[in-house]
Structure 1
Amino acid sequence: MKTVGLSMKNPYLRLARPKQWTKNGFVLAGLLFARQAYHPPAVISALVAFVAFCALSSATYAANDTLDVEEDREHPTKRFRPVASGEIKPRAALTFAIVLATIGLGLCFAIGPVVGLSAIAYLLLQAAYTLVLKHLVILDVMAISAGFVVRALAGVAAVHSPVSPWLIVCTGLLTLFLGFSKRRHELAVLGEDAGGHRRNLEDYSVEMLDQMMNIMLAATIIAYSMYTFFVYKSEAENYMMATIPFVIYGVFRYMLLVHRAGGGNPDTLLLRDRPLQITLLLWIAVVFLVLYVQ
């Protein structure tokens, strides 16, 4: 296996897909909402869990690229991935995936047994998705959403905080919205050839996905609003309702970008859109002020 450097020109770094590590930000939600951002041991545990899930997610990307190499070679954009393009041999990519998975699992179990079990659940879910679920309409997006929920639960376990049902509901609804937007983007990119690249895309249509996205968007806003209404009781905590406009703008901005010019790639929108980045930072700042500065 070739030496892995830090340049994005390095095929192993591209195989790990660092641009998608932002998805593992859900691991840090438990630290913020458990009010332990000032507690160094909790911060260290949360950050280690974040790094661990970056390794785990990269392991699943590498394994997926190995299994789907023939399909990816026929895809207009995926054919440039390191395995599909021939830069990395499938056996080397699989070895890379095993090494990353081992590192990720080791870090998770070092934090605690519950975090370790969450990591195993995540890998099993990703294996089921890669082998079976990604070919089943609707269940494919539900599996993607479940992966985000597992990340969030692992983050909660890392800081030894009780699990809030609101965390599961809000994370699940938001990521269902993101998952359906991803399928919409794939249809926009592949067009009439979509079914030839993935069987379940034949069962989707842009119109149906737009309806599903609208439902999930509305449900996400309602669920988050109810969360701020009913969880925080004190007078100071009532200001959590001030974060609702940021959530509304953020999901609407995201939808705008997905629809613009045939749809942007949902996996990298946050990395490329400055208004989305500013909105996220302002949301975090307001949440921090409400929960930590009283």
Structure 2
Amino acid sequence: MAERTALLERPPALAPPPRSLTGLLRGLVRTARPRQWVKNVLVVAAPAAAGRLFTQHAFVHLSLVFVLFTACAAAVYLVNDARDAAADRAHPVKRHRPVAAGQVPVPVAYAVGGTLGVLAPVAAAWLCPAAVCALLTAYLGMQLAYCVSLKHVLVVDLVVVTTGFLMRAMIGGLALGIPLSRWFLITTGFGALFMVSAKRYSEAVQMAGRAGATRALLTEYTTGYLRFVWQLAAGVSVLGYCLWALEEGGVPSAGVLPWRQLSMIAFTLAVLRYAVFADRGAAGEPEDVVLRDRPLALIGLVWLAMYGLAVANW
């Protein structure tokens, strides 16, 4: 009887769609997760913080780094979906992914992912400073290790995903030879940990009682622990930003107002606003929270304006 119930509850298998070159290309693009490419905009973080964003040299190099990082991320997504195809077919949502649904054959996903994973570091070695190539290679190796085993290791999975965000923020500075301050690294790192742990917390809340259906490791975490992590990370990121804003570095500001210090208010409000969604268990898709919540978007624009005025010393 139990076996019969399990069969009834299992999602019906999807019939593989007819394949065509156009459908295959669309499937490959979908597997590369275009919506996730917005994360790679973090490559401008360090140059923006240093006030070296709006030059032709910066534009060319950052555009190249963005493309290379996107290629590495796409390679990881393709390999991950190819590896998890069998498990994804048993999932009510993931079974619609192109590889699991049969739109993209598993060997093709592996081949395209492997090609991107080789070409991106090689192009970086040819066109970028050695530090950029090293960071891209390290990111690729770390993410592939995450796909194979690290995503099943408690706490390490949070660290790996957080480090991926931190690498995105660092690589723009390395591409332009900009020194990375300790406050920049602390704020960025713990800000990323805040969003990653809030996402895990939201998934655990939404999938209470069946957490393993979406992410097996969620069964090992408690919501109390994940809440502790995102609250800790939020506090450290705000503290790090405030210490940066209050550190004058011996250079007096010639601006009309102390925009650098005032930006602490907007930054803190942004973290508090995002924490509302985290507390509700509604931060499962960070990009949706950031782009769809108008108050948060407004706070972000105010912070961006203040930060820009501080960098411009206006």
Aligned residues: 292
Shift of 1:293: 4.4
Aligned position for 1:137: 154
Aligned 1:110-189 pairs, distance under 5 A: 110-189=127-206
The amino acid of 1:277's aligned partner reads A
1:292 and 2:292 are equivalent in the alignment: no
**What's the secondary structure of 2:98's corresponding residue?**
coil
Shift of 1:39: 2.2
- Give me the whole-angstrom Cα distance separating, in 1, the residues matched to 2:175 and 2:208: 43
- Give me the whole-angstrom Cα distance separating, in 2, the residues matched to 1:76 and 1:39: 47
Gaps of 5+ in 2: 1-18
1:284–1:111 CA distance, 2 compared to 1 (3 A): farther
Aligned 1:16-55 pairs, distance under 5 A: 16-55=32-71
Choose which of 220, 241, 249 in structure 1 pairs with 2:237.
220
Choose which of 78, 90, 95 in structure 2 pairs with 1:74.
90
- Give me the whole-angstrom Cα distance separating, in 2, the residues matched to 1:150 and 1:262: 26
Choose which of 209, 212, 217 in structure 2 pairs with 1:200.
217
Shift of 1:140: 0.6
The amino acid of 2:101's aligned partner reads S
1:107–1:240 CA distance, 2 compared to 1 (3 A): farther
The answer to which of 194-203 and 243-252 deviates more is 194-203
1:253–1:112 CA distance, 2 compared to 1 (3 A): same
- Give me the whole-angstrom Cα distance separating, in 1, the residues matched to 2:263 and 2:179: 23
Aligned position for 2:262: 242
The amino acid of 1:21's aligned partner reads W
Contact 1:258 1:266 in 2 (8 A): no
Aligned position for 1:258: 278
1:96 and 2:112 are equivalent in the alignment: yes
**What's the secondary structure of 1:23's corresponding residue?**
helix
- Give me the whole-angstrom Cα distance separating, in 1, the residues matched to 2:175 and 2:230: 31
1:64 and 2:80 are equivalent in the alignment: yes
The amino acid of 1:253's aligned partner reads R
Shift of 1:103: 4.3
Deviations, residues 33-88 of structure 1 (Å, cap 9, x unaligned): 12212321122111211121112112111111111222222333222211122221
- Give me the whole-angstrom Cα distance separating, in 2, the residues matched to 1:147 and 1:58: 13
Deviations, residues 95-120 of structure 1 (Å, cap 9, x unaligned): 22123334432443312221111100
- Give me the whole-angstrom Cα distance separating, in 1, the residues matched to 2:72 and 2:20: 20
**What's the secondary structure of 1:84's corresponding residue?**
helix
The amino acid of 1:186's aligned partner reads E
- Give me the whole-angstrom Cα distance separating, in 1, the residues matched to 2:254 and 2:21: 53
Shift of 1:176: 0.8
Contact 2:199 2:284 in 1 (8 A): no
The amino acid of 1:246's aligned partner reads A
RMSD: 2.4
Contact 1:4 1:13 in 2 (8 A): no
Contact 1:74 1:197 in 2 (8 A): no
TM-score (norm 1): 0.89
- Give me the whole-angstrom Cα distance separating, in 1, the residues matched to 2:130 and 2:150: 27
The amino acid of 2:140's aligned partner reads L
**What's the secondary structure of 1:192's corresponding residue?**
coil
- Give me the whole-angstrom Cα distance separating, in 1, the residues matched to 2:141 and 2:99: 23
The answer to which of 228-237 and 53-62 deviates more is 228-237
Contact 2:75 2:116 in 1 (8 A): yes
- Give me the whole-angstrom Cα distance separating, in 2, the residues matched to 1:271 and 1:11: 25
**What's the secondary structure of 2:54's corresponding residue?**
coil
Choose which of 244, 254, 279 in structure 1 pairs with 2:299.
279
Gaps of 5+ in 1: none
TM-score (norm 2): 0.84
Shift of 1:266: 2.5
- Give me the whole-angstrom Cα distance separating, in 2, the residues matched to 1:275 and 1:141: 28
- Give me the whole-angstrom Cα distance separating, in 2, the residues matched to 1:213 and 1:224: 16
1:54–1:270 CA distance, 2 compared to 1 (3 A): farther
Contact 2:146 2:157 in 1 (8 A): yes
Q: Percent identity?
A: 30
